[in-house]
Structure 1
Amino acid sequence: MVTSHNPGQGENGRAVDSPSPSVPLVPQELLDQCAREPIRIPGGIQPHGAVAVFRPADLVLVQASANLGAILDRPVALDGSQTLGDLVGPGSALEGDVGRWLAGAETGFLEQYQIDGRTFHVTGQQVAQGVILEFEAFDEAERARNASLNQLLRNFLDRSDGLTTVADICAGVAAEVRALTGFNRVMVYRFDEDWNGTVIAENGDGTLPSYLDLRFPASDIPAQARELYRLNRLRLIPTATYAPIPLVPALCPADGAPLDMSFVALRSVSPVHLEYMRNMGTAASLSISIVIDGRLWGLISCHHAQPRYIGPPIRAACDFLGRIVAQQIAARERAAEIDERLRLKSIETELVAHLARAPAFQAGLVDCAPQWLALTNSAGAAVVTDGIVLSTGKAPPIQSILALADWLRTRNIEQLYSTSSLAADWPPGAEIADVASGVIAVPISRIHASFIFWFRPEVVETVRWGGDPRASKTVDVAGRLHPRLSFEAWKQEVRQRAQPWRPAELLSAADFRGAIVNFVLQRAEERAQLTEELQRSNKELEAFSYSISHDLRAPFRHIAGYAELLGEEEPALKALSRHYLDGIIAAALSAGQLVDDLLHFSQLGRTSLKMTRIDMAKVVTEIRRSLDIDERQRQVEWSIGALPTAWGDPTLVRQALFNLVENAAKYSRGANPPRIKIWGQERAADVLYCVEDNGVGFDMNYAGKLFQVFQRLHRQEDFEGTGIGLALTKRIIDRHGGTLEAKGAVGQGATFSFTLPKRQTGGNRGIA
């Protein structure tokens, strides 16, 4: 297990462009075995102190390191007969303090005690397996430094108040820790989002090489080692060549399991780690964890070229410095995040205010492109709704954005997706890395692939590693795992990665999503209310139209009837009077037909469809037969093609098709000869029907008026009709969920096509 954070030793500044060809590949099973190494229960300690484990109830000694007797210079009994008082002397201050400590709420303590005239630092902690005491002999050489600890700490606190940046704080603490400990080199090592570490500050005396700005792979400190650094913030290794002292007995009598030594300062470390230290020329090390909000932010790493021991008081001072630095770094980072958050919130407020005035938020985003991009400090952005993409800035092609939206939809993103390396998550992202290595996506629909995106381009970066990260471990001929031997600087060009997103930017995107979702919901409610009002108005209009049409039918019939009676009673009417009378009759009949058509049109929205299978060939035959009654229609040359069956209301579909065929016959009667072609085509989801003629046609610029009530493209003197037939046809087709289209050219005929469902789609439709 490689648990060292130490940067490598080698020829400083030398660039190695590729790994050595002699470096063997490490089998995955060995790497997994390394990651599972029981570093919390090593079964032994480092030899610069001793460990004793006592039963909490009566402080009887149950387990100890094999050197406990030698360290305390007195016999040790592990047969259940020796208590703490027996071990350190009856009436000892240590025995009394431990009793009071166990009765209180504290979980650990560090004090100095005299045992047979010798001074020991005693560290204590309570764990489930018992009470653990660690004994380290007092180093007289540290007495002078211990006396000045408080002043050193006060001086650092005074100086650090004037340090404004994280870099300055890290440089300051590196210098302070080196002055406090006397190590040759002290570095501050920061983890990135992938747990690679970079040396961001360094203070040394020149004995060891500088590794400032070098990066080291996450494999140097595996996950379980990082977790141990997070829990136990301090670790000293006075010499990398020590032989571990075993615990006796090997298993703790309290539970028959190995003693959990996670918080034991004397805990032995992995042999692989000691080999790692020797390979890099480091004889002693001290690690101080920087933990912010419960997360391991980085390490203060101390190295010495020769063995070096520092006692618990100085280590405690270093731990205190680590905690102070963690608080100060956290304060600086939080202040910077708060400032950025406030700035982005101001942009969000301005943008949302504009969107509230825009007819649609998509168009509003494009209109406010600078604010949209600034919301997350992005180079490009896009919004996808209903398969339509609107983008701004440096954004990927539309098809790539749609493909990304479809992929994100399969991942069921509920709040936010973010990455600084899209290609790592989504391989097609490699094709758009130049504009979209970094992505933030927020969903705005639970059903459709609708997202708001922000994009950042890749930042091509040359990284200087402390040794080739691909060769962080090696395997010897016997199959044993070893840390790498070379720590020479190794350069790597990193691509397909963007500048990482800051927490403030991610929060800004998430908050903006909430505003957009609320905006969409508000507009949906407004549309629903408007739809309800329109439906109510339509019903009122239909009822009014029905009432008016119904009430007008009788008067027009009376006018026509009385006019005809008058003509019969007065056969000697003058020619002019007879002409006027014929005009009255024609007008009344035309008005009556108009009223009938209006009544039919209004009734169409009030009746339910009676859906069934329709034999369209039979329907066309009936329509032809009814039209052949008119002498003029008998000259038509008919061309009837295949007519697949469809699903619909037979009466209404017959009416719609009759209107189209009748129009074709009417507007082509001037052709010589008139030709009408009717055919159908079965498609994947529906059936298409077409009615073509070679009549007068129409100007496509006015095609939009064809299906409106009372809209005509030809004079009524030339072609009779009320102007309702095509509107009625469109309403019928719309009721069936189909489409109606018209194409034509003046003097070249017209083609009307409509679609119907090919199978049942869920029963009768109600009011449209």
Structure 2
Amino acid sequence: MADSSMSAPTIATNAVEADCAREPIHIPGGIQPHGYLLSVGEGGIVVQVSANIGALVHADADAVLGQPLASVLGERGAQLVATALRDLDAEGIPLYAGSIDDPRGNMHAPLAIVVHRYDGATIVELEPARDTSDVFASMYPLVRTFINSLQDVDDADALAVLAAREVHRITGYGRTLVYSFDDDGHGHVIAESLSPGYAGYLGQRFPASDIPPQARALYVRNRIRLIADADYVASPLVPPLHPATGRTTDLTYASLRSISPVHVQYMKNMGTWSSMSMSIVVRGRLWGLISCHHDTARVPPFEVRTACEHIAQVLSLQIEAKEDHAEADYRLELRRRQARLLASMANSEDFIDAIAADPRDLLDLPGATGAAVIFEGRVVRMGEAPPTDVIERLVGWFDKRTEDVYATDNLAEAWPEAATLSPSTSGLLAVSLSRLFRNYVIWFRPEVVRTIRWAGDPRAKLSKLSPSLSPRESFEVWTQTVRNRSAPWRQAEIEIAGEFRGALLNLVLRRAEELAQLALELGRVNRELEGFSYTVSHDLRAPLRHIVGYADLLREMEQARLSDRGRHFVERIIAQARFGGKLVDDLLSFSQMGRAALRAQPLDLDELVSRVIADETRDLGDRQIDRRIEWEIGKLGIVNADPVLMVVVLRNLISNAIKFTGTRTGADGQPPARIAITRTEGERLEGDRRLPGQDVITVQDNGVGFDMRYADKLFGVFQRLHRFEDFPGTGIGLASVRRIVERHGGTAWAEGQLDRGATIAFSLPRDVAPETVPVHETVTETAARLAAVSSGQPYRPVFKDTKKVEDDRAEADPAG
């Protein structure tokens, strides 16, 4: 039967399984009757026995209580027990004491004695053995073939095949299975050895509900468990409560412990009347089981059981060693990939561009087919990554999580929106670099469609025993198709992602420190420039004023005697000296533009634009320039900006638009000048121009335009794309515009065509901090800001020198 509706091999725990999980299987109150159990107190006095002890000593069980142990086992047996108890150094660890002849005579097999202490009770167990010689000497020939074959296998699956074959040979059981447990607790049969007539289960799975949690815990503590006869009648303990503790005796470490009737019925449903299981424990976790089945009752001798237990222990160690070796090799390879990736990033100016140019190392790092890097507002997609809008919604979901590293092989289960996405995004591994700035690295894995063969429908139950506890009845193959899951992320891959996160943060911090060092150097240069500006303002402006003054006097005093050519020279001297003064003034204004603290506040852009237009057009009238300008002013609304600095931006852009449309007079057949000022939401821009969270102000004209090949020069200081004689100016206006806009957190750009006009645009964030970090930042403040950025926390600068800030602001105010 196929079932494709189930999204994962996880079977929901229902009320029946919950009841099963609460069953007290460690205190069954009795033992299996193929052996005998005694509990001894001080002085070796018997204080508790299994009820079948009478068959061994030909006396009633009650008559044995209070007797010395020697009266039951003989002097040699009592001495073996006493010696073993003295050697016990850990509670709960069974110790083989030796073997004795059965007190009933030669017709009965010898008995092996095993002792242990646990929960206030001293337990002595007697089990059938082959002979009374050293059990370990007779055990080695049984396991020798297995031990000698270990060097011929390379992985856990091959070890499991070898173990299944050897245990099957040693025990004589009809079927031997080796299965491993996955992370959900489901068992997967990875090896088997069968006698004729036994059904095979190789490749099939057993649901986790078949072994409840308390049974798994017992498998870790007591590494071997025998059920000799599914039809056995338990032999109860006499008395029911242990005299020393007053509680039911805990038989966690007793090999004869009676078995839950649920499991006995489970065995019968499987056609098994005797079973023996050995635990495979790796790194303290139940990795799997070696499970033997027989269709009739069977009591393997103690030596055989011990040999099988030894095989399971050796198998556990071998699996752990091979897994550790394979894991170490894989981790070493992951670190090689990481070192290669970090080297390429560290050697590039922009490490995001370096990754995007060759994404193989980033994809290979955890073994992914797609990836996305979200950094400083950019979304860089690689391989089979979902579209940008999906990644942005995914980042919004990540913002609500707390993990620095998050991994899932079923993204649709964690984030339901993923169910509608491509199968290439079924698995996800993400690291958070900064939630404050929404910086992430995300890897994607594709769906791996799996068909799982279960040994019976894991949802089916049989309710013959009781309404609450019931095992499965059918073990007929049941097929399940699993979708929406990728290959699981290995622990090493998750850990290397975490290490990569730390290395990337260090790289970002190092770049920030380099920028901080550069900022300190720029601060020093700025101070030198300020000194130069002071020299210019006092030493250069005065001579220029003198030149203009004396030239004016010369023009007035000697006008009668100067020739036309002489007067022309004087006019040129005056014009150039005045231009030099204007150039010095503009340069000083530009240099002071970044010194004032930015104070953003709600600003009515419509009113501000109207005022600037009125000022600039009034200037045309003052100069008696006759021309017609058609204005198209859109609804500009409210922006968050510094009002003083925004006047500078708008005045420069509007005056430039008026100046460069000077040839459009609207007279003598010329078209009129057209200047449009509009506002657009940044989200509505197309392609790479999209600016979420910002508004774009555009000033467009139909003037002389410019060649786009030289657009990068437009915002530079003293950069001009037209002749001074045609369009006079100092070449500093647009440089000031870009500097102010960037201080607000926006960008400025230009587009144009020769003789068809130009468009100058700038963006403003809708949420501008009321004050940004001042230029006069101390080294301590710089370090604090870097620490805040690296930890993803907001930084709030403290302006200590308020007077300095106010003075700087006054110097930047054009009105001043």
Question: Who is 2:59 aligned against?
Answer: 74
Normalised by the size of structure 2, how large is the TM-score? 0.80
Query: Are residues 27 and 199 of structure 1, via their aligned partners in 2, closer, same or farther at CA, if it must alter by over 3 Å?
Result: closer
More deviation, 505-514/531-540: 505-514
| CA–CA separation in structure 2 for the residues paired with 1:144 and 1:105 | 22
Whether 1:767 and 2:767 are equivalent positions in the alignment is no
| CA–CA separation in structure 2 for the residues paired with 1:356 and 1:551 | 47
Question: Who is 1:4 aligned against?
Answer: none
Q: 2:471 aligns with which of 467, 478, 483?
A: 483
Residue 388 of structure 1 deviates from its aligned partner by 3.6
Question: Who is 1:470 aligned against?
Answer: 459
CA contact (8 A) 1:678 1:689 kept: no
What aligned pairs does 1:177-326 form with structure 2 within 5 A after superposition? 177-326=167-316
Amino acid paired to 1:574: S
Residue 84 of structure 1 deviates from its aligned partner by 4.2
Whether 1:719 and 2:705 are equivalent positions in the alignment is no
| CA–CA separation in structure 2 for the residues paired with 1:287 and 1:637 | 96
Query: Are residues 335 and 761 of structure 1, via their aligned partners in 2, closer, same or farther at CA, if it must alter by over 3 Å?
Result: closer
Amino acid paired to 2:483: R
| CA–CA separation in structure 2 for the residues paired with 1:288 and 1:536 | 75
Residue 151 of structure 1 deviates from its aligned partner by 1.7
Query: Are residues 360 and 697 of structure 1, via their aligned partners in 2, closer, same or farther at CA, if it must alter by over 3 Å?
Result: closer
Amino acid paired to 1:169: L
Residue 289 of structure 1 deviates from its aligned partner by 0.9
Amino acid paired to 1:582: E
Question: Who is 2:651 aligned against?
Answer: 658
Q: 1:728 aligns with which of 722, 736, 756?
A: 736
| CA–CA separation in structure 1 for the residues paired with 2:695 and 2:485 | 51
Query: Are residues 485 and 688 of structure 1, via their aligned partners in 2, closer, same or farther at CA, if it must alter by over 3 Å?
Result: closer
What aligned pairs does 1:547-586 form with structure 2 within 5 A after superposition? 547-570=535-558, 571-586=560-575
CA contact (8 A) 2:616 2:655 kept: no
The superposition leaves residues 705-759 of structure 1 with CA deviations (integer Å, 9 ceiling, x where unpaired) of 3332222333222233222233334434444445555555555555555566778
More deviation, 753-762/556-565: 753-762
Question: Who is 2:578 aligned against?
Answer: 589
Whether 1:526 and 2:517 are equivalent positions in the alignment is no
Question: Who is 1:36 aligned against?
Answer: 22
Q: 2:33 aligns with which of 47, 66, 89?
A: 47
Residue 559 of structure 1 deviates from its aligned partner by 0.7
Whether 1:156 and 2:146 are equivalent positions in the alignment is yes
The superposition leaves residues 498-552 of structure 1 with CA deviations (integer Å, 9 ceiling, x where unpaired) of 4445555555555544544443333333233233323433343344234324421
The superposition leaves residues 222-241 of structure 1 with CA deviations (integer Å, 9 ceiling, x where unpaired) of 33322221221100001111
Q: Which blocks of at least 5 consecutive residues in structure 2 are unaligned?
A: 5-10, 683-692, 777-816
CA contact (8 A) 1:443 1:452 kept: yes
Whether 1:354 and 2:344 are equivalent positions in the alignment is yes
Whether 1:120 and 2:111 are equivalent positions in the alignment is yes
CA RMSD across the alignment: 3.9
CA contact (8 A) 1:177 1:318 kept: yes
CA contact (8 A) 1:735 1:765 kept: no
Residue 181 of structure 1 deviates from its aligned partner by 1.5
Normalised by the size of structure 1, how large is the TM-score? 0.85
| CA–CA separation in structure 2 for the residues paired with 1:82 and 1:237 | 30
The superposition leaves residues 66-117 of structure 1 with CA deviations (integer Å, 9 ceiling, x where unpaired) of 33334443344499x7154475378554257436624752543222245746
| CA–CA separation in structure 2 for the residues paired with 1:757 and 1:457 | 38
Amino acid paired to 1:719: F
| CA–CA separation in structure 1 for the residues paired with 2:364 and 2:151 | 33
| CA–CA separation in structure 1 for the residues paired with 2:356 and 2:590 | 43
The superposition leaves residues 34-65 of structure 1 with CA deviations (integer Å, 9 ceiling, x where unpaired) of 2222222222222222333344x555544433
Amino acid paired to 2:656: N
Amino acid paired to 1:525: E
Question: Who is 2:594 aligned against?
Answer: 605
Q: Which blocks of at least 5 consecutive residues in structure 1 are unaligned?
A: 1-15, 20-24
| CA–CA separation in structure 1 for the residues paired with 2:154 and 2:640 | 76
Question: Who is 1:672 aligned against?
Answer: 666
CA contact (8 A) 2:750 2:759 kept: yes
Question: Who is 1:5 aligned against?
Answer: none
Instruction: Count residues with an aligned counterpart.
Output: 743
Question: Who is 1:64 aligned against?
Answer: 49
| CA–CA separation in structure 1 for the residues paired with 2:679 and 2:351 | 41
CA contact (8 A) 1:730 1:740 kept: yes
CA contact (8 A) 1:26 1:474 kept: no
Question: Who is 2:624 aligned against?
Answer: 632
CA contact (8 A) 1:84 1:95 kept: no
CA contact (8 A) 2:3 2:481 kept: no
| CA–CA separation in structure 2 for the residues paired with 1:371 and 1:757 | 35
Amino acid paired to 1:154: R
CA contact (8 A) 1:292 1:327 kept: yes
Residue 583 of structure 1 deviates from its aligned partner by 1.0
Residue 613 of structure 1 deviates from its aligned partner by 6.2
